[in-house]
Amino acid sequence: MTEFEMFRKQYPFDLLSEEEFEEVFGKAMVREFSKNEFIIHEDQEDDTIDIHFMVSGLAKNIMHRSNGRQLSVRFYYPGDLVGVMILLTSGEMRFSVQALEPIKTICFERESFLKVMSNNNHFSKVVMDGISHLMKSLYDEVKYKSSTTDEQDDRELYKKRADAYMEPPTFIHPEASIEKAARMLQQQKIEALIVSDDQQSMLGMIGYGEILRAYFENDHKNPVKAYMAEEAYEINEQEFIYDALSYLKHHPTEIIPVLHKDKVVGILRQSSFFTIKNSVYFDLTYKISNAITIEEIKPLSPIHNERFQKFVASLIKDHMFAYDIAELMTNYNDRIHKQVVQIAEDQMIREGYGAPPINYCFLVMGSEGRKEQAFSTDQDNAIILADYDNSKHKAKIEKYFEIFTNKINDMLNECGFPYCTGGIMAKEPKWRQQMSDWHGSIDQWINKMDAEEIRDFTIFMDFRPITGDYSLAYDLKKYVTKRVQKSLNLHQLLMKDTLRFRVPVQPFGRISGIGKKRTLNLKKSAIMQIVNAIRIYSMKYGIEEINTVNRLEALAEQERFHPRDVENAKTALHRLMLFSQPSTVG
């Protein structure tokens, strides 16, 4: 206890009685965390989350969105409490807290800490005031995570009207208590309640944000009318749902009342659109996002799922550009990859390895990285780890990610994404490195690259993050772009590699096939000629885009390509990719 005496007179611990101070600090211990290590991870079980008081260092919170990205809302500084918010909301608000530099904390036994909070109102109010202003922003990001692409997935949805998708509203009387509202939200599994005194007209709405505010102000016995939001976005039952979709994309935790004249006849929320029977893409991607086992994902894989194959066939018949179809298929595969990574994380926790000890970013490369993927393709992936050389747990971290990445690659193989025959997978040490080692590998690649390694490098150059800490991938992309832009030798090697695959056109325009059947490999002899050439130009001019069409458009913006040449190249890609679609979608 003597090591904690200095905190006896430090705010807010000076609000504690002698007995309460002994209760809180008697079982406390000092914990140290290296840079990039997690103090709390969102995948931890509730009963393993501790309360930490920051003594020194800097940390940030991280929240995962359903599109795989990470978002940080705030930093933690010396004097901040970490973990209280998660515990007080019974796990409703989940996020990770990661060290940005070496950190020292005092780790409290949570039962003792919460017991003192419940008995000392003054101390409790100070703790609550310190975190309550963050609740709304954190809740908006965590409770209902939104995708950035759903709005574009099915064009026909924008021709539908609100009454086709509305759900029955749930009303609560304005004099009902906050406690009753909280129970109704939990029982009905809905984001908000319509406040009404006649079960028809709307006085306002109350959701988790307002209820949490009432609880933090110890005001949960009061009526909902004291905390309800009186102004709400609403829509008429005969209006098109385009605006509703746009609103829910940016306000994912809310509901939209649907009105007939001035009466509430229904509500819209994000999940309203997941039950659309004529939207195959919405239906299948919703199932992927809610899968908790590999057995659930297997039948949803493109090569196994007939509904998805017919859906793609319908897009081809509608004369959608082949490279747009390829992007849609890649987005679908991305969702499978993201869910596989999450399932692997959950397995690691169940098997006793715990949550990831440091931040990471999972990358896809090659055709998937460029969003030019077909139905059946092997794995090309890698992982970037935050630097951990100075961690006391270096060996443990390395073993963790060795097991973790093996699980991911094995699961992807089960789901119809075969192992890469060239070993370009995250489970291989060459493709599983911390950031500083990636820098070293890139330098070595560029300085000593030979013809044998050029193929690996071209696949790597098209890497794209799909889940984890995207900043790791963005920083690496900037580094590699600067390095390759200045390497004339690398440009020449890449051009030489591209010329290995001859364009099968004779001097007078006749196409020459291979073998007795005079067949053509459209990917090697045509598509990759365009892809490789555009990649070389992009490297030369420092363009960070990955998708070939996006690279073409960026080259046109920089006036490196004439707009007419860009359109010709895009048309060629469309035709060639259309021919390369497998017969299974016909």
Let me know: does 423 contact 71? Beta carbons within 8 Å.
no
The per-residue pLDDT of the chain, averaged, comes to 82
Instruction: State the Cα–Cα distance between residues 416 and 558, nearest whole angstrom.
Output: 40
Instruction: State the Cα–Cα distance between residues 230 and 144, nearest whole angstrom.
Output: 22
Tell me the one-letter amino acid at 420. C
pLDDT higher than 90, residue 42: no
* DSSP string for residues in 499-523: TTS---B-TTS-B--BTTTTB--HI
| 32-36, 72-76, 364-368, 572-576: least confident range | 72-76
- Whole-angstrom CA distances from 181 to 92, 169, 229 are 16, 14, 14
| 42-46, 271-275, 454-458: least confident range | 271-275
- What is the location of CATH 3.10.580.10 in the chain? 155-274
User: pLDDT exceeding 90 applies to what percent of the chain?
Assistant: 32
For the segment 171-198, what is each residue's pLDDT rounded down to a tens digit? 999 999 999 999 998 888 788 999 999 9
What 3-state DSSP class applies to 315?
helix
Instruction: State the Cα–Cα distance between residues 65 and 142, nearest whole angstrom.
Output: 7
- Whole-angstrom CA distances from 346 to 42, 46, 529 are 11, 14, 41
Q: Which two tokens stand for residue 457?
A: 């490098």
Instruction: State the Cα–Cα distance between residues 94 and 83, nearest whole angstrom.
Output: 10
Query: Quick one: CATH architecture of 155-274?
Result: Roll (3.10)
- What is the location of CATH 2.60.120.10 in the chain? 2-120
Fold topology of 2-120: Jelly Rolls (2.60.120)
Can you give the pLDDT at residue 540?
84
Let me know: does 227 contact 214? Beta carbons within 8 Å.
yes
For the segment 523-554, what is each residue's pLDDT rounded down to a tens digit? 777 888 889 889 888 888 888 888 899 899 99
Let me know: does 531 contact 519? Beta carbons within 8 Å.
no
For the segment 455-476, what is each residue's pLDDT rounded down to a tens digit? 788 889 899 999 988 889 989 9
For the segment 487-520, what is each residue's pLDDT rounded down to a tens digit? 777 777 777 766 666 666 666 556 666 666 667 7
Fold topology of 280-585: Beta Polymerase; domain 2 (3.30.460)
* For residues 68-75, average pLDDT: 65
Work out the end-to-end distance of the chain between its first and last CA atoms, rounded to an integer number of angstroms: 74
> The pTM is what?
0.64
pLDDT higher than 60, residue 97: yes
- Is pLDDT larger for residue 5 or for residue 172? 172
* For residues 361-387, average pLDDT: 90
Instruction: State the Cα–Cα distance between residues 78 and 31, nearest whole angstrom.
Output: 14
Phi, psi of 470 (to 5 degrees): -60, -25
Instruction: State the Cα–Cα distance between residues 524 and 510, nearest whole angstrom.
Output: 18
For the segment 115-170, what is each residue's pLDDT rounded down to a tens digit? 888 888 888 887 776 665 455 444 444 443 333 333 334 444 434 677 777 889 99
Can you give the pLDDT at residue 11?
79
Instruction: State the Cα–Cα distance between residues 455 and 439, nearest whole angstrom.
Output: 19
pLDDT higher than 70, residue 247: no
Can you give the pLDDT at residue 586?
40
Can you give the pLDDT at residue 3?
77
Tell me the one-letter amino acid at 403. I
- What is the location of CATH 3.30.460 in the chain? 280-585
**With bands split at pLDDT 50, 70 and 90, how would you rate the model's confidence at 360?**
very high
